[in-house]
Amino acid sequence: MFSNRHVIIALLVAPLLSIGAWFAVGTFIVETTSPAEPGRDYSLLAKSNCRYDSGRCDLSNGDLTLAIEALPAASGWQLSIVASHPLRGVVLAVDENGRAGQPRSLHTGPEGARQWLLELTDLPAAGARLQLVAAAGASRYYADTATDFLQRYRNPAS
């Protein structure tokens, strides 16, 4: 088989053609990113740590990233949202058992417009959903994610 010159040439050329095709597809089919347009709404993608009792939920869209964590406070819990860029405001509602809660505005934390805090008397129940809207620049970013990541604080033994 290896004495046939056609087989040897094919074994040498095939990897080069596959690498060239990979670069060509990346060049011609790639989706180009563009900056956020003022006045438009963009969804935030919930990362995989939002689906498990990780204690933290990361949301992202492009270069904007939000990290949500629960911190113990004197009167219960404090939900902390840390953003990669300064935000103009954050509003959050908890949807439990299909009943959307009242949207509540968060207030800035020690890090200024990059950290936003919300006081909670109790953590949302298992199966609840967080609905969030954050204003950055002249655009709005929204997310709807599960509260499974908060169950670590509800069950500290696990």
CB 52 within 8 A of CB 148: yes
Query: What's the rounded Cα separation, in Å, for the pair 149 and 126?
Result: 10
Looking at this protein, which amino acid is placed at residue 66? L
**Structural domains in the chain (count):** 2
Residues 52 and 86 reside in one and the same domain: yes
Residues 83 and 17 reside in one and the same domain: no
Residue-averaged pLDDT of the chain = 87
pLDDT in tens, 43-72: 999 999 988 888 899 999 988 999 999 888
Q: How far is CA 141 from CA 65, 122, 157, in A?
A: 10, 26, 35
Given CA atoms 118, 109, 152, 154 in this order, what sign does their dihedral have? negative
pLDDT of residue 105 exceeding 80: yes
Give residue 12's domain range: 1-32
Residues 108 and 133 reside in one and the same domain: yes
pLDDT of residue 154: 66
Query: What's the rounded Cα separation, in Å, for the pair 56 and 50?
Result: 7
pLDDT in tens, 107-132: 998 888 899 999 988 888 878 899 99
Residues 5 and 61 reside in one and the same domain: no
Residues 76 and 50 reside in one and the same domain: yes
Q: What pTM value is reported for the model?
A: 0.74
